[in-house]
Amino acid sequence: MMRSLFFLALLFSSGLQAALQEQAVSYTAGDTTLKGYLVWDDTKGDKQPGVLVVHEWWGLNDYARQRAKMLAELGYTALAVDMYGDGKSSEHAAEASTFMNSVVERAGISQLRFTAALAFLQKQASVDKGKIAAIGYCFGGATVLNMARLSTDLAAVVSFHGNLATQTPARAGQVKARVLVLNGAADEFVSADSIAAFEKEMTQAGVDYRLVNYPGARHGFSNPDADRLGKANNLPIAYDAEADKQSWEAMQQLFREVFKQ
């Protein structure tokens, strides 16, 4: 009897350890190799909704991977995408800015790399390819908003402390995704004028959107490393635990609605 209980306990323990499946993956966009991170919980069943996670301007780092893990624990197959190529990341603002500009200053590159990630995620056995959302942080937040503006086939996009300005404003009837913007009210990179312009743009385009301003929260409020990175790079960014918690809950509520969970 004791021996049977032992083996049952061993099987149960092994099952728990094997539940979260993590893979370093490679895919291509044009002639660029992109190195992402795919994660899912194999106890949650087949054909899960998929979520793309677009990193901050620092690049695909442990923070983006951790958010992907958190999504997998909620029952989604998550892909932390690589927008810079070769999995590059940095903790130095000047280098991160160079990486970011290499994408945003080249016409079509951001869309090409995002859609390559989307196509890769849709091919995964655990994914319901008709149920895909995208979230992004900082640079990534701006990226997912712009992908929605470009009529990318997504159920929802969520921007955490992302830039709201764009050179490709939404047109009436073109945005397929529901849009959620989670912004720090004390974010020095997002002005009141840009918020007003964004809301006018969304309203005129008939977008189903919601914008939340968290009082006192600064840029980078969702990232526990923001204080350290801000101090090291002389940037006005800071972690805010309450805004982090509330924004993650707001994202989950939106996903429950669009995925009818």
- How many angstroms separate the CA atoms of 146 and 135, rounded? 12
Domain residues for the domain of 73 are 20-258
Domain assignment of residue 85, yes or no: yes
* Residue 165 located in a structural domain: yes
Contact between 84 and 102 (Cβ < 8 Å):
yes
Domain membership of residue 81 (yes or no) is yes
Rounded Cα gap, residues 182 and 184, in angstroms = 7
Predicted pLDDT of residue 3 = 40
Looking at the 3D structure of the chain, how many domains does it have?
1
For residue 152, tell me if it sits in a domain. Answer: yes
Using an 8 Å Cβ cutoff, are 47 and 126 in contact?
yes
11 falls within a domain = no
Provide the residue-wise pLDDT of the chain in tens; the chain has 261 residues.
434 433 334 344 344 445 899 999 999 999 999 999 999 999 987 799 999 999 999 999 999 999 999 999 999 999 999 999 999 999 999 999 999 999 999 989 999 999 999 999 999 999 999 999 999 999 999 999 999 999 999 999 999 999 999 989 999 999 999 999 999 999 999 999 999 999 999 999 999 999 999 999 999 999 999 999 999 999 999 999 999 999 999 999 999 999 987
Is 31 domain-assigned? Answer: yes
Query: Which of 222, 218, 247, 249 has its CA nearest to residue 235?
Result: 218
CATH of the domain at 25: 3.40.50.1820
